[in-house]
């Protein structure tokens, strides 16, 4: 299949996990079918579904103690304020909602009951996250193939909802987006920095530098979100150095070949110009013949003279 018959990944070039860099610009990966996402993006959906239970637990730990309400009085004395992270709690709620909506879409196509929250209790949320993950993991394809349909969207207050038309790819994008928000909120303890260079392994623009605190100090690593390959930061810098050296050598070789081609063309043009000058001189000599000299030419001799002067094309 030629590139003209292929289509760009439906997700924008800035979020496409399989995107590459061409002439300094991010370009989305190609797909065989229109209005679909690329294989790298599909793998990203699989990973966020598989990681959802761990993400939910990490967010729960980052929220803080929810066993008592803020300002509750204990023994006649106001209890200290509980360290609740409202932003993280919001992301956790969105994660549960995204999983439930995606699982409901797959359940409908399979003709089975979908996991539903019976309460907002932590244990119930954990149960539903696990159930949604088990349902979605083997049926990602069905989710992505699901056409646009009316989907309930709860407002952040939880008191009302509205309906939005979303395809299965839209629901998958919501999952990827909430995972990115979750990683960002958890980044206070695990900083991640996006790198501008493409991945040396798969060429996608999905490299992140991550700094983890360990018992031995700090682990500084670079990981590609598209293909999953990882290096220490020092190893990555060595790879970048090698890449840049190879790129400089490649550019130098391309310039050398281009200069050789230009020199060859210039030499050919110079030879052609000399040939034309010689023919032009011959024609000029012909025009300077005296009448008595021209009379000595018969027609055959004259044509032969012209052919010699102008070449066979004459």
Q: How far apart are CA 136 and CA 53, in angstroms?
A: 12
Q: How far apart are CA 86 and CA 232, in angstroms?
A: 34
**pLDDT for position 25:** 65
**pLDDT for position 101:** 93
**pLDDT for position 79:** 45
Distances (CA, A) of 211 to 148, 190, 191, 206: 40, 6, 6, 16
**pLDDT for position 241:** 83
**pLDDT for position 110:** 93
The verdict on pTM exceeding 0.85 is no
**pLDDT for position 131:** 95
Q: How far apart are CA 16 and CA 166, in angstroms?
A: 19
Q: What is the DSSP letter of 207?
A: E
| Domain boundaries of the chain, sorted by first residue | 1-36+195-228, 38-189, 244-310
Q: How far apart are CA 61 and CA 188, in angstroms?
A: 13
How does DSSP assign 248-292, residue by residue? HHHHHHHHHHHHHHHHHHHHHHHHHHHHHHHHHHHHHHHHT--HH
Q: At what angle do helices 122-136 and 39-63 cross, to 10 degrees?
A: 170
User: Mean pLDDT of residues grouped by 10 in the chain (314 residues)?
Assistant: 66 68 69 84 90 90 60 41 69 92 93 88 91 94 89 58 81 90 72 78 82 68 83 84 83 89 89 80 65 57 62 50
Residue 79 CB partners (closer than 8 Å, separation 6+) = 68, 71, 72, 73
Residue with structure tokens 């979605």? 136
Torsions phi, psi for 164 (to 5 deg): -135, 135
Residues 129/52, Cβ–Cβ less than 8 Å? yes
Q: Indicate the helix (H) or strand (E) that contains 58.
A: helix 39-63
**pLDDT for position 132:** 95
Q: How far apart are CA 159 and CA 90, in angstroms?
A: 15
**pLDDT for position 88:** 86
How does DSSP assign 98-157, residue by residue? HHHHHHHHHHHHHTSPPP--S-S-HHHHHHHHHHHHHHHGGGHHHHHHPPPEEEEEE-TT
> What residues are paired with 78 via a beta bridge?
73
């Amino acid at each position: 299949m030629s590139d003209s018959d292929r289509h760009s990944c439906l997700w924008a070039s800035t979020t496409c996990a399989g995107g590459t860099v061409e002439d300094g610009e991010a370009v989305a990966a190609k797909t065989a079918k229109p209005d679909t996402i690329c294989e790298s993006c599909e793998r990203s959906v699989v990973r966020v579904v598989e990681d959802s239970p761990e993400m939910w637990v990490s967010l729960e730990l980052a929220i803080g103690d929810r066993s008592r309400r803020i300002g509750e009085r204990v023994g006649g004395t106001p209890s200290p304020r509980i360290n609740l992270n409202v932003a993280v709690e919001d992301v956790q709620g969105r994660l549960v909602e995204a999983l439930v909506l995606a699982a409901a879409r797959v359940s409908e196509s399979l003709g089975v009951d979908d996991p539903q929250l019976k309460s907002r209790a932590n244990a119930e949320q954990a149960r539903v996250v696990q159930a949604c993950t088990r349902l979605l993991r083997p049926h990602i394809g069905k989710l992505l193939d699901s056409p646009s349909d009316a989907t309930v969207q709860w407002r952040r207050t939880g008191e009302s909802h509205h309906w939005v038309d979303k395809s299965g790819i839209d629901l998958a994008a919501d999952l990827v987006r909430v995972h990115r928000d979750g990683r960002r909120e958890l980044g206070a303890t695990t900083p991640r920095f996006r790198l501008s260079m493409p991945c040396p392994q798969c060429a996608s623009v999905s490299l992140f530098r991550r700094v983890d605190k360990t018992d031995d100090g700090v682990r500084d690593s670079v990981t590609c979100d598209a293909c999953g390959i990882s290096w220490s930061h020092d190893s990555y810098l060595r790879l970048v150095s090698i890449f840049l050296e190879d790129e400089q050598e490649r550019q130098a070789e391309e310039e050398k070949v281009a200069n050789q081609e230009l020199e060859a063309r210039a030499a050919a043009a110079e030879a052609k110009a000399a040939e034309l000058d010689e023919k032009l001189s011959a024609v000029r000599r012909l025009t300077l013949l005296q009448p008595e000299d021209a009379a000595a030419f018969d027609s055959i001799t004259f044509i032969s003279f012209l052919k010699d002067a102008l070449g066979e094309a004459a």
